[in-house]
Structures are given as C-alpha cells and as structure tokens.
Chain A
Amino acid sequence: MTATISVLVPVRGEAPFLAQALDSLRAQTHHEWQALLLPIACDEAPLHMQAATDARMHVLGGTHACAAGALRIAGEQLQGDFLCVLDGDDLLEPDAFAALLAAFREHPGTGMAYSRHVLVDAGNRILGAGPLCELPYSPEALLLDFMTGPLQLVHQDAYTQAGGFSASHPDAADYDLCLRLSEHVGITHVPRALYRRRVHAHSPAVTRWAEQIEARYNAFADAVKRRGLDAHYDCALEIDSWHVLDPLRPFGGVRGLA
C-alpha cells in the first residue's frame, strides 16, 4: 500500500501565493496526500473555495491566532502515515515527496527526512540557497543551527513519540519539534533543494524576525535542559547586527551597469 502524507498548509493574510502553493502540491509525482488548510488570522472563505477544487483538500474550521496553535490542533487529527508542512507562501518541487519517501526506504530507523531549499521572491526569482541547510546535521549541531528546515517529512509514529507540535514557542514551533524529534528518532538529510521558501514583505521571517530569534533561543535552552546538558553548560545568545546602505540599482540590480 502507498504511504499517505498529511500536508498542513498554514495560510496567512491575503494569501496571494496560496494558489501557486497548492498547484505545486497537485503537481507532486507522489499522489497519495491529504491537505489541511489552516487559516491563521485571516478570512476562511477563500480557503474553502480553493479546497473545493480538489477532494484531497480540506480546511481546519475556525481561524487561529498563530500557526503553532493551528499546527498542534491539526497534528492531533492526522490520519496519514507521514506529516509535512507546506507554508501557504511556499512551493514544493514536483518530486519532493517521492525523494523524501525514498530516504525513509533507504535508511531504516529514519523518523524524519528533510531537504535543502532555496529562497525565492514574490516573482519566483531564486534569491539564493537557503541559509544553514547545507550544514551537517547531528542532534548536537541542531542545538546551535536550525539546518533541518523548512521542508520536513515526519513519520506519524515519530511525531507522536516526540510529542508533536507544541504551543510553548509559537514563533519557533518547527525548530522546537525538530529538536524533540532529534532526541527520539533518526533524521536523514536529502541533499537536494526540494522546497522554495518565499521571502516577501509580509512573511513572518521579515515581520517577526526578532520574535523568531528569541523563540528559537528559548527552544534551544529548553532542549539543553531536557538533554541534561545544563549541568555542564550555560546557554547564551550572541547577537551581531549591522546596517547596510546600498544605492538602489535600476535595471534589475546588476552591479556595474551605468
């Protein structure tokens, strides 16, 4: 029997990129998936219209204040063999599910597989490789750098074993889950960019970067305690910041153009 993937799709605001996100889901070479759209502080009606176009798509009723809360609720209702989060702004490569599922078959004992990703702008132009995703993974390295995101395929048993999404660090729910998974199950890296993360003015990475940094640090400090490392180590957060002033470049920003 083919494995079924439950795809959670948090959707925020006007959701201008949702149709593209769902198209990338429909284009998967692995067809056995169910999608649950999660309205985060936004109007539900457009989501129902989108869901009506495909029998595999549903909407988690009632709008939710934050993605972490919605993910937790949705996680409790899952019926698939695997769980995956596709942000309503982002895109999957067509063979994303197939490649991640292959990693589970090739590496027995895997509870979660993750891939590399690229950053794209509102016009789908590739801005560059996702930060950190090429760093080598280990449960210890994950304490310092969040290299296992944003595309993760998690086995349902592993998800349950790790305690699922938690609302304790709402701005770092994915990192917090990965840390707990890394304490229970094997994690396999697929060294291919299978996900396109969109960077735009209203994305949480832009509007809530400070909250994300603080939440990730708190999730890290919790993991250090859970692992008993706090007997020998103190946690700290080092922050460097700088302003960069650049001339605006006409003609697509090619340096050297007069």
Chain B
Amino acid sequence: MDPQVSIAVPFHDTARFLPAALDSLLAQDHPQWEALLWDDGSTDGSSAIAADYAARDPRFRLLGDGRNHGNPHALASSLAQARGEFIGVLDSDDLLEPEALSAMLGFMHARPMLGMAYSQYVEIDEAGHPRGPGTRFHIPYSPQRLLVDFMTHHFRLIRTDAYRAIGGYDANLDDAADYDLCLRLSETCAIGYLPRILYRYRIRRDSISHGSRLRQVRSSFEAAQRALQRRGMARDHALSLGLRARHVLRPKFIAKDQDAT
C-alpha cells in the first residue's frame, strides 16, 4: 500500500516520549502513511526504540547517519525522501490525535486549491496531562498577519508538490525553520484552517535554555524580515521587534505535611 502521507519524525534524545509519539501514529484511523524516523545523533536509547518500531511495522522508515545536524537539517533531509502526496511533521515528544491524518486529508481533498492546512492543538505536560487548549490558532490567518503572528502552528499538512516547489525546509537555519517554511508557503499557495484539535503539543520544563529561546526570537524576526523583502513590502513597510525580558523570583515550593483528616 503506497503511503499517502509522509510524516517526518526527527528525534534527538527523546527516549522518554518517543514511544507515545510513534504509538499515536499506529493509532491513526487512516492507514496509508509512512513515518520518516530521522535519528539526529541520539545517545539516550531513542535509536533502539525507533529501530524496534521499524522492525515491527514497515511503515516506519529508519533514516539519518546517526550524527547530530540539528532539527532543520533533519527535517529537510528526511522529507527529501518522502513518497506521499502530502507531508507533515510530528515532533518526537508530541502526539497526534487518532483522526489527525484522516481529518486533514478529508479537508484538503475537498479543497484542491490549498497547498497547506493547519489545525488546532492542545498543550500537554511532561506526564501527558492536558494543560489547556493552544492559543495561536485563535488569530485569523492571512499571509500578511503571518508576518507578525505564527498562527499556523501544529498540526500542518502540506501538499508535497507545494512543499517541493518552494525548496522545502531550509537546512541552514538554526531556529525558526517552521515559521520560515510557512512564510514561504504563504507566498505561493493558499493555506486553510481546520478548527479541530488534532495535535498534542508537549510543554517541557527543560525544553530550551534562555540562550536558545532568545536565538529563536531573533531567528523568527529575521525570517519575517526576509519575507518582507521577498514580498517587496520593505519599500513601504518596516518590521520591528518588541521584546520584554523579565527577571523573576519565584518562592520555592515548600512541601507541607499533608493533613491526614
């Protein structure tokens, strides 16, 4: 059975969360998918987990040279091998809802003019418990609004032709590769919004350091500036970056003896 959708799952030391991510693929009610499991130089046993899934189900394809090149490189390289008519990305610590693929495919088949569609998502904590619905998708999409707000968050399904036509992920970016890709897609094709929760986005306490969070802010702004140039808007418009960084002192949590009553 040829895959209709290719889902890139780059992973780097996410052994704690990878089984849940891959199980959420196995639980899809649409069977025609392939998962591009790209090992981005893991050292925590993630590689063995991925190999185990690949041995059990041929829809999991094991890719990567075992070295750490960074997420954008892993996305670009794995999606270059995609065989499906559509592509998507599942972060290795996140999960898809069981109807994610069928719902997005139905939505896009009914709208052949769309190059990409995106859905709603919920945020979950490290244990997988829901923290609440995401907020980005509340902002209405337009190619112009995308310059200031990244609302086309998870889950995205992209027509492979549209993806390849813009050259795909930029492997040279260090951060903000998703935002950069969406900006470029929004300049060449129509983007649709399916208001259904199809993705569980994990918020991790150890997610990223302050340095990488700040680099991400800078990279996102640079991606928007490049888009402004590409669109010929820089003659009449200026983009600026607003920033507020706050030092916070949080009282430490002191465990109290539980009242036995």
Report the nearest B residue to A243, measured CB to CB: B148
A237-258: contact bitstring with B at CB < 8 Å (1 yes, 0 no)?
1111111111110000000000
Contact between chains at B252 and A233 (CB < 8 Å): yes
Chain B residues lying within 8 Å of A231, measured Cβ to Cβ, are 252
Q: Is A55 an interface residue (CB 8 A)?
A: no
Choice from A235, A243, A244, A247 contacting B247 with Cβ under 8 Å: A235
A231 to B254, CA, bound (A): 11
Q: Mark A187-225, 1 if CB is under 8 A from B, else 0.
A: 000000000000000000000011001101100100010
A229 at the interface (CB under 8 A from B): yes
**B60 part of interface (Cβ distance < 8 Å):** no
A237 lies within 8 A of B148 (CB): no
The proximity string for B residues 55-71 relative to A, scoring 1 for CB distances below 8 Å and 0 otherwise, is 00000000000000000
Q: Does A236 contact B (CB under 8 A)?
A: yes
Q: Does B110 contact A (CB under 8 A)?
A: no
Q: Which of the four size classes fits the interface of chain B? A: 20 to 34
B230 nearest CB across to chain A (Å): 15
Question: For the complex, what is the distance from the CA of A240 to the CA of B213, rounded to whole Å?
Answer: 10
A239→B245 contact, CB < 8 A: yes
Q: Is the CB of A243 within 8 A of B242?
A: yes
**Closest residue on chain A to residue B223 by CB atoms:** A243
Select A224's contact among B238, B241, B249, beta carbons within 8 Å.
Answer: B249
Contacts of B235 in A (CB 8 A): 248
Check B249–A217 contact: CB distance below 8 A: no
User: Which residues of A pack against B, CB within 8 Å?
Assistant: 143-145, 209-210, 213-214, 216-217, 220, 224, 229, 231-248
> Mind listing 17 A-B residue pairs with CB under 8 Å?
A143-B247, A144-B247, A220-B247, A229-B249, A233-B251, A235-B247, A236-B247, A239-B246, A240-B245, A243-B147, A243-B220, A245-B147, A245-B238, A246-B238, A246-B240, A248-B236, A248-B238
